[in-house]
Amino acid sequence: MQKWLDVDLGVTWWADRVVPQINLDLANRSGAAWNESHWQDERLDELIDFTRSALDQDARTAAYKEIQRLFLDEGPIIVPYFYASFMVMASHVSGVVMHPFSGRTHFHTAVLS
C-alpha cells in the first residue's frame, strides 16, 4: 500500500473530477485504488455499479441521493465545501474571462450584444 493511504486523517483535493462517478469509482468503492478511508460498504458498491450504467435519469438521481445519505449517515469522509462551475458559450456574449481552474471564471466584465 502507498504510504499516503496509511494515515489517521487525510485531506485530498477531488474537485477536478468532472463527474461524481469518477470519485465513486476511484475513492469510495470497497478496495478502490484511492480509497483513503478503507471504508467498505456492500450497499454503496451496488449503488456505484448502478449509477455507472443506469439509463433512467430519475432512477440514477435517486441512487445518487441514496449514496449521499449513506455518506451522511455512515461514511468516513467529510466534504467541507462545493463551489459552482460556470461556462458561457454563446456568440452574443463577450468579455467573459475564462479561467482554467473551475469556479474562478470572471463574469463581472461580461457584455451581451
pLDDT digits (tens, 9 = 90+) for 6-50: 777 777 777 666 677 888 998 899 999 888 888 899 999 999 999
65 in a structural domain:
yes
Mean pLDDT computed over 62-68? 95
Residue 8, all three cell numbers: 489517521
Predicted confidence band of residue 77 (pLDDT cuts 50, 70, 90): confident
pLDDT at position 40, please? Answer: 93
Domain count, the chain: 2
State whether 54 and 103 are in the same domain: no
79 in a structural domain:
no
pLDDT at 55 over 90: yes
Residue 46 CA to residue 63 CA, distance in Å, equals 10
97 in a structural domain:
yes
Does the predicted TM-score (pTM) go above 0.75? no
The phi and psi torsions of 93 (rounded to 5 degrees) equal -115, 130
pLDDT at position 78, please? Answer: 74
Residue 54, all three cell numbers: 443506469
State whether 60 and 7 are in the same domain: yes
Q: Which domain holds residue 36?
A: 3-74
pLDDT at position 3, please? Answer: 72
Of 41, 111, 109, the residue nearest 71 (C-alpha): 41
The Cα-based distances of 63 to 25, 31, 42, 53, 57 in angstroms read 15, 21, 14, 11, 10
